[in-house]
Structure 1
Amino acid sequence: MRYFKVLALVILFFLSMVFFVQNTPELSKEVVLSIQLLQLKFTSQSLPYYLLILTAFAAGALLCLLYFMGDKIRLSGQLRTCRTRMANLEQEVNSLRNMPLDEGNYPSTAETAEEKNEDQA
C-alpha cells in the first residue's frame, strides 16, 4: 500500500510540473486582489496566478495536516482509555479465575443429578 501512495504522489507531482510548464505564460499574468468590507477597502499588490495557486495548495495541505493530527490525537486518547479498561477487566477476570471455590456453596454434578431424579419420582 505504501508503494501506491508514493506512486500517487509522484504522479501528482509530475502532472503539476506539466501543468506549470505548459501554462507558464498564463500563470505568469498578474492579478490584483481586492475586498471591500463596509467602508474599508483592501487591495493587494499585483501577484502572479501561480503564486495564488501554490499558496492555496499549501494552505489546504496545512489545514488537512492540522485536521488529521487532531483526529489522531483524539483517537489515541480513545485507544488509551480502551486499553486501560481492557487491562482492568482482564485483571478482574484473572482475580475471579484464581478465586478458590467453596465446595459447600456449589453442588457437584452428581448431587444435582440425584436431586433431579428425586424430583421426578
Structure 2
Amino acid sequence: MRYLKVLALVILFFFSMVFFVQNTPELGKTVILSIELLQYKFTSQELPYYLLILTAFAVGAVITLLYFMGDKIRLSGQLRACRTRMANLEQEVNSLRNMPLDEGNYPSAAETAEEKSE
C-alpha cells in the first residue's frame, strides 16, 4: 500500500509539472484581487496566477493535514479506551476462571435432565 501512495504522489507531481510547463505564459499573467466589505476595500498587489494556484494547493494540504491529525488523535484515544476496557475484561475473566466452584450451587447435568423428565 505504501508503494501505491508513493506512486500516486509521483504521478501527481509529474502531471503538475506538465501542467505548469505547458501553461507558463498563461500562468505568468498577473491578477489583482480585491474585496469590499461594508465600507472597507482591500486590494492586493499584482499576483501571478501560478502563485495563487500554489498557495491554494498549500493551504489545502495544511488543512487536510490538520484534519487527519485531529482524526488520528481522536482514534488513538478511542483505541486506548478500548484497550483499557479489554484489559479489564480479561482480568475479570481470569478472576472468574480461578474462582472455586461450589457443587451445591450448580446443578449437575444429570440433575437437570431428571427435573426435565418429571
TM-score (norm. length: structure 2) = 0.93
Measure, in 2, the Cα distance between the counterparts of 1:38 and 1:22.
Answer: 41
Alignment of 1:14-33 (within 5 A): 14-33=14-33
Measure, in 1, the Cα distance between the counterparts of 2:116 and 2:81.
Answer: 48
| Structure 1 portions without partners, runs of 5+ | none
Paired letter, 2:57: F
Instruction: State the 1:113 CA deviation.
Output: 4.2
Q: 1:53 to 1:115 in 2, by over 3 A?
A: closer
Q: Which has the higher strand share?
A: 2
Name which one, 1 or 2, has greater alpha-carbon Rg: 1
Alignment of 1:1-121 (within 5 A): 1-116=1-116, 119=118
Q: 1:53 to 1:116 in 2, by over 3 A?
A: closer
Paired letter, 1:50: Y
- Identity over the aligned pairs, expressed in percent? 86
SS in 1 for 2:45: coil
SS in 2 for 1:78: helix
Instruction: State the 1:49 CA deviation.
Output: 0.4
Instruction: State the 1:116 CA deviation.
Output: 4.9
Paired letter, 1:73: I
Measure, in 2, the Cα distance between the counterparts of 1:113 and 1:30.
Answer: 92
Measure, in 2, the Cα distance between the counterparts of 1:33 and 1:116.
Answer: 88
Q: 1:116 to 1:38 in 2, by over 3 A?
A: closer
| Structure 2 portions without partners, runs of 5+ | none
User: Residues 49-98 of structure 1, C-alpha deviation per residue, up to 9 Å, x if partnerless?
Assistant: 00000000000000000000000100111111111111111111111111
Deviation >4 Å, runs of 4+ = 113-117
